[in-house]
Amino acid sequence: MPEKSTKKQLNKYVSLASIPFQIGTVVYIGSYFGKILDLKFGFAKPPWMTLIFVLFAIALSFYSIIKQLQRINKNE
């Protein structure tokens, strides 16, 4: 029985440790696509598409993290 509890606790820590990588990956992908669109549409000074996509990626990351934390707390 203690083995299941330890495994459950370890899974919780692993999912919490993955949050920074999740944020970084989503923001990087958002900025990458924003830069591509800036080059395609000619937005050089200010890079509007990059700013919009990075802000959207940050909002999406926070939404995903909140849902993930709610799921972790629900399973306790």
Q: Is 19 exposed, middle or buried (0-12, 13-18, 19+ CB in 10 A)?
A: middle
pLDDT mean over 9-21: 86
Q: Which residue has the higher pLDDT, 1 or 22?
A: 22
pLDDT mean over 31-38: 95
Q: What is the pLDDT of residues 59-75, one digit of tens each?
A: 999 999 999 999 888 87
Q: Is 74 exposed, middle or buried (0-12, 13-18, 19+ CB in 10 A)?
A: exposed
In the DSSP assignment, the letter for residue 47 is -
